[in-house]
Amino acid sequence: MTSPNRRLFLLGAAAAAITPVAAMSASGTFEITRTKAQWRAMLTEAEFLIMREDATEKAFISPLHDNAKPGRYLCRGCELPLYSSRTKFDSGTGWPSFASPLKNAIGTRPDNTLFIKRTEVHCRRCGSHMGHIFDDGPWPTYKRHCLNGTALIFAPA
Protein backbone atom coordinates (compact mmCIF):
# COMPACT_ATOMS: atom_id res chain seq x y z
CA MET A 1 0.00 0.00 0.00
CA THR A 2 1.26 3.47 -0.88
CA SER A 3 1.59 5.98 1.95
CA PRO A 4 -0.32 9.31 1.70
CA ASN A 5 2.95 11.29 1.46
CA ARG A 6 4.28 9.08 -1.32
CA ARG A 7 0.93 9.25 -3.13
CA LEU A 8 0.98 13.08 -3.00
CA PHE A 9 4.58 13.12 -4.22
CA LEU A 10 3.73 10.82 -7.14
CA LEU A 11 0.67 12.87 -8.07
CA GLY A 12 2.73 16.07 -7.96
CA ALA A 13 5.45 14.49 -10.10
CA ALA A 14 2.88 13.37 -12.66
CA ALA A 15 1.33 16.85 -12.80
CA ALA A 16 4.73 18.48 -13.25
CA ALA A 17 5.65 16.04 -15.99
CA ILE A 18 2.60 16.96 -18.08
CA THR A 19 2.69 20.72 -17.45
CA PRO A 20 3.68 22.45 -20.70
CA VAL A 21 7.02 24.24 -20.49
CA ALA A 22 5.56 27.31 -22.20
CA ALA A 23 3.14 27.79 -19.31
CA MET A 24 6.14 28.23 -17.01
CA SER A 25 7.90 30.90 -19.06
CA ALA A 26 8.00 34.54 -18.00
CA SER A 27 4.75 36.33 -18.65
CA GLY A 28 3.45 39.80 -18.12
CA THR A 29 3.81 43.16 -19.75
CA PHE A 30 7.30 44.16 -20.77
CA GLU A 31 8.68 47.20 -22.58
CA ILE A 32 9.98 44.99 -25.38
CA THR A 33 7.64 42.32 -26.70
CA ARG A 34 8.08 39.97 -29.61
CA THR A 35 6.09 37.12 -31.05
CA LYS A 36 7.36 33.59 -30.63
CA ALA A 37 8.32 33.63 -34.33
CA GLN A 38 10.31 36.87 -33.87
CA TRP A 39 12.16 35.42 -30.87
CA ARG A 40 12.94 32.23 -32.80
CA ALA A 41 14.27 34.27 -35.75
CA MET A 42 16.71 36.24 -33.58
CA LEU A 43 17.89 33.50 -31.19
CA THR A 44 19.59 30.15 -31.65
CA GLU A 45 17.60 27.11 -30.57
CA ALA A 46 19.56 26.88 -27.29
CA GLU A 47 19.08 30.61 -26.60
CA PHE A 48 15.35 30.33 -27.32
CA LEU A 49 14.90 27.32 -25.02
CA ILE A 50 16.74 29.04 -22.17
CA MET A 51 15.45 32.58 -22.54
CA ARG A 52 11.87 31.95 -23.64
CA GLU A 53 11.12 28.42 -22.34
CA ASP A 54 13.05 28.57 -19.01
CA ALA A 55 15.50 25.78 -19.84
CA THR A 56 18.89 25.60 -18.11
CA GLU A 57 22.21 25.22 -19.86
CA LYS A 58 24.62 22.51 -18.74
CA ALA A 59 27.08 23.51 -16.03
CA PHE A 60 30.55 24.72 -17.05
CA ILE A 61 29.72 25.18 -20.77
CA SER A 62 29.42 28.97 -20.84
CA PRO A 63 32.55 30.90 -21.78
CA LEU A 64 31.27 33.59 -19.40
CA HIS A 65 31.64 31.24 -16.42
CA ASP A 66 35.40 31.85 -16.19
CA ASN A 67 35.36 35.41 -17.51
CA ALA A 68 37.13 37.72 -15.06
CA LYS A 69 37.41 40.82 -17.26
CA PRO A 70 35.88 44.13 -16.10
CA GLY A 71 32.64 45.07 -17.78
CA ARG A 72 28.91 44.53 -17.76
CA TYR A 73 26.68 41.59 -18.60
CA LEU A 74 23.73 42.42 -20.85
CA CYS A 75 20.50 40.63 -21.67
CA ARG A 76 20.91 38.81 -24.98
CA GLY A 77 17.25 39.53 -25.77
CA CYS A 78 17.35 43.34 -25.53
CA GLU A 79 20.89 44.32 -24.46
CA LEU A 80 19.75 45.87 -21.18
CA PRO A 81 22.71 45.97 -18.76
CA LEU A 82 21.89 43.51 -15.96
CA TYR A 83 25.04 42.81 -13.90
CA SER A 84 28.44 44.35 -13.27
CA SER A 85 31.62 42.28 -13.25
CA ARG A 86 32.29 43.82 -9.82
CA THR A 87 29.60 41.58 -8.29
CA LYS A 88 30.61 38.41 -10.19
CA PHE A 89 32.12 35.58 -8.17
CA ASP A 90 33.05 31.92 -8.59
CA SER A 91 30.32 29.98 -6.83
CA GLY A 92 31.72 26.60 -7.83
CA THR A 93 28.35 25.68 -9.36
CA GLY A 94 29.32 25.87 -13.03
CA TRP A 95 27.22 28.91 -13.95
CA PRO A 96 28.10 32.62 -13.98
CA SER A 97 27.14 33.90 -10.53
CA PHE A 98 26.61 37.42 -9.21
CA ALA A 99 25.94 38.82 -5.74
CA SER A 100 23.58 41.54 -6.98
CA PRO A 101 22.14 43.04 -10.19
CA LEU A 102 22.40 46.55 -11.51
CA LYS A 103 19.65 48.90 -10.35
CA ASN A 104 16.27 48.45 -12.10
CA ALA A 105 17.62 45.63 -14.30
CA ILE A 106 15.81 42.44 -13.33
CA GLY A 107 12.44 41.10 -12.35
CA THR A 108 11.73 38.06 -10.21
CA ARG A 109 8.93 35.61 -9.59
CA PRO A 110 8.44 32.46 -7.50
CA ASP A 111 9.40 29.22 -9.22
CA ASN A 112 8.10 26.06 -7.56
CA THR A 113 9.05 23.61 -10.30
CA LEU A 114 11.34 20.68 -9.52
CA PHE A 115 9.66 20.29 -6.10
CA ILE A 116 11.66 23.12 -4.51
CA LYS A 117 11.02 26.80 -3.88
CA ARG A 118 13.27 29.01 -5.96
CA THR A 119 13.22 32.58 -7.23
CA GLU A 120 13.36 32.91 -10.99
CA VAL A 121 15.17 35.97 -12.39
CA HIS A 122 14.35 37.55 -15.73
CA CYS A 123 15.18 40.71 -17.65
CA ARG A 124 12.75 43.39 -16.50
CA ARG A 125 12.61 44.91 -20.01
CA CYS A 126 11.95 41.88 -22.26
CA GLY A 127 11.11 39.11 -19.80
CA SER A 128 13.89 36.77 -20.91
CA HIS A 129 14.67 34.05 -18.38
CA MET A 130 18.16 34.41 -16.91
CA GLY A 131 18.33 31.86 -14.09
CA HIS A 132 17.58 31.72 -10.37
CA ILE A 133 18.48 33.49 -7.13
CA PHE A 134 19.60 31.51 -4.09
CA ASP A 135 20.36 32.52 -0.50
CA ASP A 136 23.90 31.10 -0.39
CA GLY A 137 25.90 33.97 -1.86
CA PRO A 138 28.68 36.10 -0.40
CA TRP A 139 28.51 39.08 1.92
CA PRO A 140 26.98 41.69 1.83
CA THR A 141 23.87 40.39 -0.02
CA TYR A 142 24.19 36.68 0.77
CA LYS A 143 22.48 36.13 -2.60
CA ARG A 144 23.70 34.09 -5.55
CA HIS A 145 22.22 35.08 -8.89
CA CYS A 146 22.97 31.86 -10.77
CA LEU A 147 22.59 32.68 -14.47
CA ASN A 148 22.66 30.97 -17.82
CA GLY A 149 25.61 32.42 -19.72
CA THR A 150 23.71 31.68 -22.94
CA ALA A 151 21.23 34.43 -21.99
CA LEU A 152 23.98 37.04 -21.51
CA ILE A 153 26.26 39.19 -23.64
CA PHE A 154 29.50 40.46 -22.09
CA ALA A 155 30.40 44.11 -22.78
CA PRO A 156 34.01 44.87 -21.75
CA ALA A 157 34.64 48.07 -19.78
Q: Which active-site residues does the annotation give?
A: 146
Backbone angles phi, psi at 20, to 5 degrees: -65, 140
Q: CB atoms < 10 A from the CB of 61, how many?
A: 13
Q: What is the DSSP letter of 126?
A: T
Burial of 119 (0-12, 13-18, 19+ CB in 10 A): middle
Please check whether residue 51 is in contact with residue 76, taking contact to mean a CB–CB distance below 8 angstroms.
Answer: yes
If you ran DSSP here, which 8-state letter would residue 63 be given? Answer: T
- Signed CA dihedral, 18, 20, 26, 27: sign only: negative
